Every structure is written in C-alpha cells, then in structure tokens.
Amino acid sequence: MAVQLDARPPVAPAPGTTRPSRGVRLSRFDTRYSPYLYIAPFFLLFGVFGIYPLAYTFWVSLHDWDLLGADHPFVGLDNYSELLADPDFWHSVVNTLGIFVISTVPQLLLALWLANLLNRRLRARTTWRMAVLIPNVTSTAAVAIVFAVLFGRDFGMINWLLDHVGVDAIDWKANRLASWVAISAMVDWRWTGYNALIFLAAMQAIPRDLYESAAIDGAGRARQFWSITVPLLKPTIIFAVIISTIGGLQLFTEPRLFNSGTNAIRGGPLRESQTVTMYMFENAFAPHYNFGYGSAIAWLLFALIAVVAAVNVLLLRRLGGGARKEDPR
C-alpha cells in the first residue's frame, strides 16, 4: 500500500508539452539501455569468475602444469590418457557411483513415502515439515564430524546399538562398503526431508477428485499411490533425480570430514571412501599441486555427471511409460 503512495509523487512534472527536450531524451535513453545496466553485474562477475575458469580448466588440462614449474608445456590429451589408465582414478569413480547409488535410491523412496505422510490432514503441519527439513539446514562439515563419531569403531553409538541386536562391531572407516554406507547415511539424513518437501509440493497440485474417482472404481490406497501419485509426479521425480545426481557425484565435504588425519584427502589409507572430487583435490592441491592433471579429472567428472544424468532420465522415461497408460486421466 505504501508502495503506491511512494510511486505517485504529488508534484509530478507534467511531461513537456512545450519542450520535448533533455528530459524526454533522457528517459528514452533510460528505457532503452538501463535494462542492460541491471543485468550487467551478473554477466561481468559471472564472466570473470564463472565462465572464464570453465574454459580455462580445459586449457590447463592440456598442459603439464605444475605449481612450481616455471613454464607449462603443452601436452595435448596426455593427462586424459594417463587418467584413463590410472587405477586410483577408477577406484574413486567406483566409490562415487557406489555411494551415489546406495544413498540416492533409498533417499528418494523414503522421500516419496514421507511426502505421502505429510500430504495427509495433519495437526501441527508446519512443525512436522520443519522437523523433517531441519537436517538440511545444519552445517555439512559439522554433521560430517558428528556422524564420523557416531560411526566410530570402538565407541560409536551405531556399533553400540548394533551390539544390542547381536551384530559385531563394524570398522566403518576401514571397510570400503561399510564406509560407503556410513557416508550414504549422512547424505540421506541431510537430503531426504528436502526431497520430501519437493514431492509434497507436487502432490498438493494433484486434483483430489482423481483419487475420488479411483476410489469409486475400487482402487485401494497403495494402488492409488502407484497409479495416480507416482505417474503424475514424474516430472518432479526426474527433477529430484537430476539434482541428486549432480549433488551426489560431486560429493566432497561428507567423505572428506568422515576421514581425518593425514590420509583424510585419500579417503582412508586404502582410499576406501575417496570420491572423484577428493581425488581431484589430492592431485590439484596439496600434496601434488598438479593443476593439469587435476583439471583433466574435473572435466571427466563433468562428463560423468552428464552421462549419469542422461541415463537416469532415459530410465525414468521408460519406467513412467508403462504407468502412464493406467493413468485415469
């Protein structure tokens, strides 16, 4: 309301009937060029700190580029071919994909289920939504440290709980698969509620009479969920899968801080939980400072993300194809 008052100054100078002079020319200049002025900061800053580094990464990856070396000889695709034959690199790719699969699949299924719960008529709606979102607004670094302790071998609470159901202590950090599970648990803890809210938003957009007519046709709750909710949520599910893919394949903070001490950037003494981004850091920064090799890893990571995202979308299209035919619409 105050807006309108402000926007209409009482003494507006009448647009010049006598002189179409400076003022008019100025305002014409204003309407034509000021939009560029408003978007310029983004493009300037992003150009220097976003686009330029991107292209430059590729340039650096074609060189033997050492921190200490005075010159950086051009080596073409040598870094890439070396990388493709590097077992440690492939080890980190397998780790990344393993953690990604173990974390994303249960995460999205749980989120769907949770969204379905939150979509019911609830008392204290906002409180429940906040409760499931709270892990997402904590400090990743802090949580990774806390989970590293929870998953401790000797005094960790998880092993203590497992002991009660007769499971022997698991060395979460020294066992490759176990470390994947522990890191996935952190990722799921953080992101399940966030995805649930995204799904919930999409669920609320589904018209309820669809469910009513399905119920009249005799469809039960489970049937309605799989035949109405899931197919109609497909675009949102694809969106969530892509976001999780990009985030999951870039995983760094959680595995880096899950490990501590001298081998931290290697993800443990035998690289049990080293992700691709960690491997990039190990090569590009301390201890190796090999920028060329590190840049090549960055580009292959980008390619990996693109491939996995594309595969996901194709798979989801397929899956949805069957369900859509049953869509009562």
Partner 1 sequence: MTRLWSAGRLTYLALAVTALMSIFPIYWMFVVASRTSDAMGQVPPPLTPGGNLGANIARLFTNTDAYFLTGLVNSAIVAGTVTVSVVFFSTLAGFAFAKLRFRGRNALLLVIVATMMVPTQLGVIPLYLLMTKLNWNDRLPAVIVPALVTGFGVFMMRQYAGQAVSTELIEAARMDGCNTARIYWNVVLPALRPAAAVLGLLTFMTTWNDFLWPYAVLNDPENPTVQLSLRALSDGYYQDMSQVFTGTAIATLPLLLVFVAFGRQIIGGIMEGAVKA
Residues 295-314 that bind partner 1 (CB under 8 A): 295, 298-299, 301-302, 305
C-alpha span between 124 and 129 (Å, rounded): 9
Please say which residue, 30 or 326, places its beta carbon nearer to partner 1.
30
Among 106, 169, 175, 239, indicate the residue that binds partner 1 (CB under 8 A): 239
Work out whether 165 is an interface residue with partner 1 (CB under 8 A): no
Q: Which of residues 62-81 bind partner 1 (CB under 8 A)?
A: none
Q: Which of residues 212-231 bind partner 1 (CB under 8 A)?
A: 212, 215, 221, 224
From the list 89, 90, 65, 61, the residue with the least C-alpha distance to 77 is 61
Per-residue binder mask for partner 1 (CB under 8 A), 248-267, x = binder: --x-xx--xx--xx--x---
Residue 248 Cβ vs partner 1, minimum distance, rounded to whole Å: 11
Residue 151 Cβ vs partner 1, minimum distance, rounded to whole Å: 11
C-alpha span between 215 and 210 (Å, rounded): 9
Work out whether 270 is an interface residue with partner 1 (CB under 8 A): no
Among 36, 68, 166, 325, indicate the residue that binds partner 1 (CB under 8 A): 36
Among 20, 43, 326, 328, indicate the residue that binds partner 1 (CB under 8 A): 43
Work out whether 134 is an interface residue with partner 1 (CB under 8 A): yes
> 76: alpha, beta or left, given left = phi > 0 and alpha = psi -120 to 50?
left
Contact assessment for residue 66 and residue 76, using Cβ atoms and an 8 Å cutoff: no
Please say which residue, 80 or 239, places its beta carbon nearer to partner 1.
239
Residue 237 Cβ vs partner 1, minimum distance, rounded to whole Å: 11
Q: Which of residues 174-203 bind partner 1 (CB under 8 A)?
A: 189, 193-194, 197-198, 200-202
Part of the chain binding partner 1 (CB under 8 A), chosen from 46-54, 82-90, 167-175, 321-329: 46-54
In a 13 Å sphere around the CA of 145, the CA atoms on its Cβ side amount to 5
Residue 59 Cβ vs partner 1, minimum distance, rounded to whole Å: 8
C-alpha span between 79 and 61 (Å, rounded): 7
Number of residues that bind partner 1 (CB under 8 A): 107
Residue 13 Cβ vs partner 1, minimum distance, rounded to whole Å: 6
Please say which residue, 49 or 322, places its beta carbon nearer to partner 1.
49
Residue 284 Cβ vs partner 1, minimum distance, rounded to whole Å: 5
Work out whether 162 is an interface residue with partner 1 (CB under 8 A): no
Contact assessment for residue 308 and residue 249, using Cβ atoms and an 8 Å cutoff: yes
C-alpha span between 57 and 292 (Å, rounded): 8
Q: What is the per-residue DSSP string for 148-183? A: HHHT-SSS-HHHHHHHHTTPPPP-TTTSHHHHHHHH
Please say which residue, 264 or 313, places its beta carbon nearer to partner 1.
264
From the list 276, 319, 268, the residue with the least C-alpha distance to 297 is 276
Among 28, 73, 94, 138, indicate the residue that binds partner 1 (CB under 8 A): 138
Q: Which of residues 90-129 bind partner 1 (CB under 8 A)?
A: 114, 117-123, 126, 128-129
C-alpha span between 118 and 193 (Å, rounded): 11
Exposure class string for 214-242: b at 16+ Cβ within 10 A, else e: beeeebeeeebeebbbbbbbbebbbebbb
CA angle 159, 163, 165 (to 5 degrees): 125
Residue 157 Cβ vs partner 1, minimum distance, rounded to whole Å: 6
C-alpha span between 45 and 100 (Å, rounded): 32
